[in-house]
């Protein structure tokens, strides 16, 4: 089997009038599926949004910055929250990990699982007030939703293609490509990008063939000159810890904490993003209460 390591490659083309981000995410999507014990359907659904989260996180500038991509919908998925920290460290919470498509449907179109809904992107950057943008969901299939969001809400012409490929053994390949017009991109440049985007074959085949992120970029750029800017690591990663969980408990407030401290069994908290369990005995909860 091929040795994969998830990566994000940044590049520009047309002398800097367009930027390209390509991601390979097999290990990250596998880890997402593992920690939440996702059904095959939800591995594809969640994995696609995980890749969008990595794209959204690629613009973060500071080490404590983070972006949150939340989907809320009236379909069975109900909600998916993807968080990406600086350094392409991504994680996701999934409300309904075991959903399956109705018999006879294929993974290409998962819109039946999402129904109507909206997506929201929130960026927390340093001391600045969090920045937020929203738009309606087109389908829930992630790639077209995210491109629509970037083009309408952030007003940057964007093309997104992504894919999560699975078989009985799990995630075979996953990755995506984001192309954006930058300032200075004239009408004819946009037309050219449009033609390239329309001629772009689905990524599924190329990801299964083991294409690297840089090769996905070449696939889009064709004969256009590409300037590669950086190659970065991507990983599924959750920063939760016992001390963070303690702080969350303290933040509940005296009344609720007193109630919890009354339980002789103590309490167990489960991280929504990595399913790590944190057990606090009755004595420990009482200590937190006293420390308030």
Q: Which residues bind Zn ion (CB under 5 A)?
A: 238, 240, 271, 273-274, 276
Identify which of residues 160 and 274 has a Cβ nearer to Zn ion in the complex.
274
Identify which of residues 33 and 274 has a Cβ nearer to Zn ion in the complex.
274
Q: How far is the CB of 201 from Zn ion (least distance, A)?
A: 37
Identify which of residues 55 and 278 has a Cβ nearer to Zn ion in the complex.
278
Identify which of residues 58 and 240 has a Cβ nearer to Zn ion in the complex.
240
Q: How far is the CB of 69 from Zn ion (least distance, A)?
A: 17
Q: How far is the CB of 274 from Zn ion (least distance, A)?
A: 3
Q: How far is the CB of 240 from Zn ion (least distance, A)?
A: 3
Q: How far is the CB of 18 from Zn ion (least distance, A)?
A: 36
Identify which of residues 86 and 272 has a Cβ nearer to Zn ion in the complex.
272
Report the 3 state secondary structure along the chain. CCCCCCEEEEEEEHHHCEEEEEEECHHHHHHHHHHHCCCHHHHHHHHHHHHHHHHHHCCCCCCCCEEEEEEEECCCCCEEEEEEECCCEEEEEECCCCCCCCCCCCCCCCHHHHCCEEEEEEEECCCCCCEEEEEECCCCCCHHHHHHHHHHCCCCCEEEEEEEEEECCEEEEEEEEEEEECCCCCHHHHHHHHHHHHCCCCHHHHHHCCCCHHHHHHHHHCCCCEEEEEEEECEECCCCCHHHHHHHHHHCCHHHHHHHHCCCCCEEEECCCCCCEEEECHHHHHHHHHHC
């Amino acid at each position: 089997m091929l040795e994969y390591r998830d990566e994000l490659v940044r590049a520009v083309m047309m002398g800097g009038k367009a930027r390209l981000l390509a991601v390979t995410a097999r290990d990250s999507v596998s880890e997402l599926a593992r920690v939440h014990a996702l059904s095959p359907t939800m591995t594809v659904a969640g994995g696609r949004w995980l890749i969008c989260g990595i794209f959204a996180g690629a613009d973060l500038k500071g080490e404590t910055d983070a972006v949150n991509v939340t989907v809320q919908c009236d379909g069975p998925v109900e909600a998916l929250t993807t968080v990406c920290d600086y350094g392409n460290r991504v994680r996701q919470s999934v409300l309904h990990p075991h959903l399956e498509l109705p018999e006879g449907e294929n993974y290409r179109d998962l819109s039946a699982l999402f129904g109507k809904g909206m997506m929201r992107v929130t960026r927390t950057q340093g001391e600045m007030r969090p920045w937020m943008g929203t738009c309606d969901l087109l389908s829930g299939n992630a790639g077209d939703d995210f491109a629509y969001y970037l083009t309408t809400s952030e007003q940057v012409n964007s093309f997104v293609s992504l894919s999560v490929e699975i078989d009985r053994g799990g995630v075979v390949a996953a990755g995506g490509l984001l192309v954006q017009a930058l300032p200075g991109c004239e009408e004819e440049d946009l037309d050219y990008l449009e033609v390239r985007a329309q001629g772009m074959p689905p990524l599924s085949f190329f990801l299964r063939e083991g294409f690297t992120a840089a090769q996905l970029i070449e696939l889009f750029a064709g004969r256009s000159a590409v300037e590669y800017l950086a190659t970065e690591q991507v990983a599924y990663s959750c920063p939760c810890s016992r001390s963070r969980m303690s702080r969350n408990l303290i933040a509940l407030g005296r009344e609720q904490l007193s109630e919890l401290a009354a339980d002789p069994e103590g309490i167990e908290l489960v991280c929504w993003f990595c399913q790590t369990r944190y057990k606090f005995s009755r004595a420990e909860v009482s200590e937190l209460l006293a420390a308030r």
